[in-house]
Chains A and B, each alone.
Chain A
Amino acid sequence: MDKLLVKFALLFSPLLKKSGIQPEALEIILLTKLKMDGRRSNSFNRGFNKGDRSDGIFILIAVNFLMSAFTLILVSKFDLAVTGLSFFLSIYIVILTFTLISEFTEVILDVKDNFILLPRPVNDKTISASRILHVFIYLFKIMIPYSIPGIIYVVINYGLGATLIFFFQMILCTVISLLIVNLIYLALAKYVSSQKFKDVLGYFQIAFSMLIFAGYYALPNLFDFEKAADLNILDKWWALLIPGSWAASLNPLILDFNTSTMCVALSAIAFLLPLTSVYLIFNVFAKNFNQRLVSIAYGGSNREQANKTTSQTSKNKLRDFWAAKITASPEEEEVFKLSWNLTGRNRTFKLRTYPVFGMLPAFFIYLALDKGDTVAERVNNFEQGSMYVTLIYMSIFGILTPLINSQFSDNPKASWIYNLIPTKTAGPMLLGNLKCILVKFGFPIIILSTITILMVWGVDKFDSVLIGMINTILFSLFFVLWKMKRTPFSIPWQDQSKGSQTTKLFIFMFLLSVLGLAHYLLLKQPIILWSIGAAGLFLIIVLYKYLNRVSWNEIVS
Chain B
Amino acid sequence: MNNTIEIKNLHKSYGLTKVLHGIDLHISTGQVIGYIGPNGAGKSTTVRILAGLDGSFSGDVYVNGISIKEDPIAVKKIIGYIPEVAELYEVLTPMEFLTLMGKLHGLSESVTQQRAIDMLGHFGLTDHLNNRMDTFSKGMRQKVLITSGLLHNPQIIFMDEPLTGLDANAVMMVKEIISKLASEGKTIFYCSHMMDVVEKVSDRIILINQGQIIADGSFAELKRQHNDSLENVFANLTGQEGHSGRADSYLKSLNQDG
Contacts and interface: CB of A to CB of B under 8 A. Distances in A.
Given A28-B104, A119-B76, A39 B91 contact: yes
A121 B132 contact: no
Query: Which of B76, B89, B92 counts the most A-chain CB atoms under 10 A from its CB?
Result: B89
B73 interface: yes
Given A24-B103, A28-B103, A119 B87 contact: no
B91 to A, nearest CB: 4
A134 interface: no
A170 to B, nearest CB: 31
Contact of A121 (B53, B77, B89, B99): B77
Contacts of A506: none
B8 to A, nearest CB: 22
Interface string B131-154: 010000000000000000000000
Interface in B71-103: 73-74, 76-77, 79, 81, 83, 85, 87-89, 91-92, 96, 99-101, 103
B52 A117 contact: no
Nearest to B54: A294
Contacts of A541: none
B9 interface: no
Nearest to A38: B91
B59 interface: no
Interface residues on B, range: 20 to 34
Interface stretch (A29-37, A380-388, A428-436): A29-37
B56 interface: yes
A32 B55 CA distance: 26
Interface string A110-133: 001011111111110000000000
B14 interface: yes
B106 interface: yes
A9 to B, nearest CB: 17
Contacts of B88: 112, 116
A175 B201 CA distance: 56
A121 B100 contact: no
Contacts of B103: 24-25, 28
B132 A39 contact: yes
Contacts of A223: none
A300 interface: yes
Contacts of B15: 299-300, 302
A298 interface: yes
B105 interface: yes
B81 A119 contact: yes
A122 B102 CA distance: 12
A528 to B, nearest CB: 55
A51 to B, nearest CB: 12
A37 to B, nearest CB: 9
A112 B91 CA distance: 13
Given A119-B76, A121-B73, A121-B77, A32 B14 contact: no
Given A114-B53, A119-B81, A299-B15, A36 B100 contact: no
A123 B73 CA distance: 7
Contacts of A40: 91
Given A36-B89, A39-B132, A300-B15, A28 B55 contact: no
Interface in A38-85: 39-40
B152 to A, nearest CB: 9
A278 to B, nearest CB: 28
B52 A119 contact: yes
A176 B254 CA distance: 63
A491 to B, nearest CB: 17
B79 A119 contact: yes
A108 to B, nearest CB: 14
B51 interface: yes
B87 A115 contact: yes
Contacts of A299: 14-15
A40 B92 CA distance: 11
A291 interface: yes
A117 B91 contact: no
Interface in A283-324: 291, 294, 298-300, 302
Contacts of B73: 121-123
A29 B100 contact: yes
Given A32-B92, A36-B89, A39-B132, A117 B104 contact: yes
A25 B89 contact: no
Given A116-B87, A119-B79, A122-B104, A28 B99 contact: yes
B165 to A, nearest CB: 16
A298 B53 contact: no
Query: Which of B85, B96, B100 counts the most A-chain CB atoms under 10 A from its CB?
Result: B100
Contacts of A112: 87-89
A32 B105 contact: no
Nearest to B88: A116
Contacts of A115: 53, 83, 85, 87
Contact of B104 (A25, A35, A291): A25
A115 B74 CA distance: 18
B79 A298 contact: no
A32 B109 CA distance: 14
A114 B54 CA distance: 9
B79 A35 contact: no
A122 B92 CA distance: 20
A112 B86 CA distance: 10
A36 B105 CA distance: 21
Contacts of B77: 121
Given A24-B106, A116-B87, A119-B53, A35 B76 contact: no
Contacts of A39: 91, 132
B14 A298 contact: yes
A495 to B, nearest CB: 14
Nearest to B56: A291
B88 to A, nearest CB: 7
Nearest to A28: B103
A313 B103 CA distance: 51
Given A40-B91, A112-B87, A112-B88, 9 more contacts: A39-B91, A39-B132, A114-B53, A116-B89, A118-B53, A119-B51, A119-B81, A120-B104, A300-B15
Interface of B: 14-15, 17, 51-56, 73-74, 76-77, 79, 81, 83, 85, 87-89, 91-92, 96, 99-101, 103-106, 132
Interface of A: 24-25, 28-29, 32, 35-36, 39-40, 112, 114-123, 291, 294, 298-300, 302
10 contacts: A24-B103, A29-B104, A32-B100, A114-B53, A115-B83, A115-B85, A115-B87, A118-B52, A122-B104, A291-B56
